[in-house]
Amino acid sequence: MSTVATHRTESTEALADSIRPWLPLAGLIAFCGTLFVIGLGDRDLTSSHEARAAQNAQMILDEGHWLVPRLFDRHLELQKPPLYYWLVALIAWLKGGPVDVWAVRLPAAVAAWACVLFLYFVGVQSGRPRAGWLAGAILASCVHFTWMARVGRIDMPLTTAITFTLGAFYLAETLDSYGWRVFGYASLGIGILLKGPIALVLVAVVAGSIWLLRDRTFSWRTTSLWWGVPLALAIAAPWYVWANYQTNNQLWEVFFWYHNVERGLGGSETLKAYPWWFYGPQAAVDLLPWSLLTPVAVYLFCRGAQMRSDEVSWSGLIWFLSVALFLSCMSFKRADYLLPAYPGLAIFLAVCVDRWLGEGVASSRIMTFLVVGMAAYAIGWLVVLHVTLPHEEKAWPYRAMAEEVRRQTKGPVIFFRAESHLLMHHLGPPVDTILEWENLDWWTKRPNPVYFVMPESCLRELADRVPPGVLAEVLRTSDYATGKRDRPLVILRSRGLPKESVVRSP
């Protein structure tokens, strides 16, 4: 009997030993799943970027515009490359239905998941699994990273592509692996196809800063450039060349010049410029709760010789600071643009915490405390997602406005000098966008009533441009509960004219 019991005990211990190495990975997967995926489709689309993605992807499925996507008003999508929209369309196609909230947001959620797990994988491959686990957990639990994982924006997949690139370069040198070099440059090419040349610029800023400040040896950073950069361009450049040709150079003028050069350097009169210190206080909020630990980590890093001698912690700190400083030099700034710097800070903090913990009973207790804290963080996010946000979203007017308009007409809805992608998304086609008063006059003379969407600011000039009684107000955004929205909008309806008085050509 004792022999059987001993055998069972040994079998249980063997099973526990085989499972134990997988527990950190399983915990990280569950943590990310809770933060990034649960309730992902419960909220309506809430931003212009999500609405654009939904429109572009739906037009891809409906009309086959894969290479140069279009919005519902059939205007070409030239603000961003198409890779994210391809992913949204592919998910919707695999689901067998129209583009929905899940399809729009899932690429961002999966990208965030992959980014976190990749940091852990790099830690394992470099012989520092606890530091890798900490880096992944820290990154996932930065409040803005968690939020962006649940929003259908390109910035999260871009962050993952940049993290893959820099992490692969590190593994390539650490393990002397040609395969990781190829993976790194391929990830860079995907990043360029996601958001354009900014992916190449940010990788060059980080890698160049590390090379200048910490490592001036002649390594992969120079020897692989002759084939690596062409590999990245071979992935991304064909679409850019083809799209620019098909749009008669519009891609160059709109995407490259306006959205990259003018927006970055402040040449656009329509975009607000921000002070150079914008990202300082913004990061202090967006990186909570870990921004509270950062000053302590920097102090211990400066005081400890062992920490200062750790090249990985230096690389993470340089990664964060170089991206932050580069973006601070740009005129137009958004909080989301700093997202590619987050993995660098997560690595820096993880290495500092890992060295500070050391080994022993106290270390195990502190790790247990961290795990409990992250569980509390996940519970807090679930409360926000299921209690706070649904209450706030009741005040957003776009779906209700669109439903009211579509109850009255299935015909074209004309956006006049108004850009509200959320309202356009909820309206669905047919819609059109016009800018000139002459075009507005032509539409008001159609035989059937036509609905117009315009900013409230246009109403004053409208009285001088359109005869009284031609347009009747239907509703305004202010008719609904106030909340997050674009510029205040008003919807008007033309009365229609007898067919014999209709102007035949615009």
Mean pLDDT by 10 residues, the chain (506 residues): 57 58 87 94 90 97 93 93 97 93 97 98 94 96 97 97 96 90 97 96 94 63 81 96 94 88 68 82 96 93 82 94 95 93 97 84 78 92 86 80 93 94 95 94 90 92 87 88 71 72 42
- Whether residues 341 and 476 fall in one domain: no
Q: How high is the pLDDT of residue 505?
A: 41
pLDDT value of position 506: 42
Residue 256: what residue type?
F
Tell me the chain's radius of gyration from C-alpha atoms.
Answer: 27
Is 381 within the bounds of a domain? no
Say whether both 413 and 341 belong to one domain: no
Within-domain flag for 178: yes
Tokens matching residue 254: 């709109």
Kindly report the number of other CB atoms within 10 A of residue 91's CB atom. Answer: 19
Place of tokens 């700190």: 317
Of 338, 353, 368, the domain-final residue: 353
Residue 176 lies in a domain: yes
Residues 137 and 281 in one domain: yes
Asked if residue 186 and residue 104 are part of one domain, the reply reads yes
Q: What is residue 22's DSSP assignment?
A: G
- Look up the domain containing 483 and give its range: 398-501
DSSP 99: -
Query: Per residue in 363-392, is it b (16+ CB within 10 Å) or e — as a string?
Result: eeeebeebeeebeebbeebeeebeeeeeee
Domain annotation covers residue 5: no
Phi, psi (degrees; rounded to nearest 5) at 116: -65, -50
Q: What is the domain count for the chain?
A: 2
Q: How many CA atoms lie within 13 A of 276 on its CB side?
A: 3
Whether 142 contacts 320, CB under 8 Å? no
Q: Is-contact 250 76, C-beta < 8 A? A: yes
Pairing of strands 451-455, 489-494: antiparallel
CA torsion 226→227→230→236, rounded to 10°? Answer: -140
128: three-class secondary structure by DSSP? coil
Q: Are residues 349 and 406 in the same domain?
A: no
The answer to whether 54 and 426 have CB atoms below 8 angstroms apart is no
Strands 413-416 and 431-434: parallel
Q: Is 503 exposed, middle or buried (0-12, 13-18, 19+ CB in 10 A)?
A: exposed
Residue 11, in any domain of the structure: no
224 and 301 in one domain? yes
Cα–Cα distance measured from residue 260 to residue 79, given in angstroms and rounded to the nearest whole number: 9
339 and 410 housed in the same domain: no
**329 & 438 share domain:** no
Give me 179's structure tokens.
């395969």
DSSP 387-447: IIHHHHHTT--HHHHHHHHHHH-SS-EEEES---HHHHHHH-SSEEEE--HHHHHHHHTSS
In a domain, 321, yes or no: yes
- Looking at the structure, tell me whether residues 276 and 331 fall in a common domain: yes
- Tell whether 93 is covered by a domain: yes
Judgement on whether residues 318 and 404 belong to the same structural domain of the protein: no
Last residue of a domain, one of 322, 353, 384: 353
Q: Which residue type, as a one-letter code, is found at position 365?
A: R
Closest by CA to 194, choosing from 64, 82, 102, is 82
Residue ending a domain, among 318, 334, 353, is: 353
The pLDDT of residue 97 is 81
**388 occurs within a structural domain:** no
Phi, psi of 80 (to 5 degrees): -140, 155
192 CB neighbour count, 10 Å cutoff: 26
Note the pLDDT of residue 259.
Answer: 83
pLDDT of residue 217: 47
Phi, psi dihedral angles at 78 (to 5 degrees): -120, 10
What gap in Å lies between CA 170 and CA 104, rounded to an integer?
A: 32
- Do 302 and 418 belong to one domain? no
Amino acid (1-letter code) at residue 196: G
pTM for this model (two decimals) = 0.91
Q: Are residues 308 and 406 in the same domain?
A: no
